[in-house]
């Protein structure tokens, strides 16, 4: 692979000045969520932990210390919270896909890596879940 897609994949691991890629992230966002396929999971919320990594291509303009010039992680987390609160989801995979869609709403975001974990699903495991990566 060559070109922008190589730059974006690399950017999810770290920021890359040569490619003008900024790495923005939200770590360990824990929310109550109605999630699961079993009857008991449809009635009682479960804790999920969400991690988001975004590759943002910079436009080359000088950085002016203005919120409008960057992807706002508060807006992003508010959208994720609202979506999680909107109703039951059967699969962590579905939740991860919906979060990736939210991340890609901002045209400056060229790739999103989303990790969703159910924290209380197994008594002998810290979590179980899925990680996906979506690009433009």
Structural domain boundaries enclosing 39: 4-135
Half-sphere exposure of 33 (CA within 13 A, CB side): 28
User: How far apart are the C-alpha atoms of 6 and 29, rounded to whole Å?
Assistant: 28
Give the tokens for residue 108: 């400056």
Give the per-residue pLDDT at 11: 40
The token duo for 17 is: 């000045």
Determine the 3-state secondary structure of 135 from DSSP: strand
Which CATH number does the domain housing residue 18 bear?
Answer: 3.30.1130.10
Q: What is the mean pLDDT of residues 25-36?
A: 97
For tokens 């190589």, the residue is 6
Highest mean predicted confidence (pLDDT) among 2-6, 9-13, 55-59, 124-128: 124-128
Of 7, 39, 66, 118, which one is the catalytic site residue? 118
Q: 0.75 cut: is pTM over it?
A: yes
**CB-CB contact of 135 with 128 (8 Å):** no
pLDDT tens-digit map of 13-22: 467 777 788 9
Q: Is the pLDDT of residue 5 over 70?
A: no
> How many domains in the chain?
1
- Residues 114-127 have a mean pLDDT of 97
| pLDDT greater than 60 at residue 105 | yes
| Catalytic site includes residue 118 | yes
């Amino acid at each position: 692979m060559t070109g922008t897609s190589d730059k974006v994949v690399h950017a999810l691991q770290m920021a890359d000045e040569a490619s003008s890629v900024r790495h923005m992230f939200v770590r360990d966002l824990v929310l109550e969520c109605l999630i699961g396929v079993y009857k008991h999971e449809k009635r009682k919320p479960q804790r999920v932990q969400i991690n988001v990594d975004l590759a943002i291509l910079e436009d080359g303009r000088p950085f002016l210390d203005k919120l409008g010039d960057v992807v706002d992680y508060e807006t992003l987390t508010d959208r994720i919270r609202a979506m999680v609160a909107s109703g039951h989801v059967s699969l962590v995979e579905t939740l991860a896909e919906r979060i990736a869609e939210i991340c890609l709403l901002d045209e400056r975001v060229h790739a999103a890596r989303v990790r969703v974990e159910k924290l209380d699903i197994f008594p002998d495991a810290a979590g179980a879940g899925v990680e996906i990566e979506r690009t433009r």
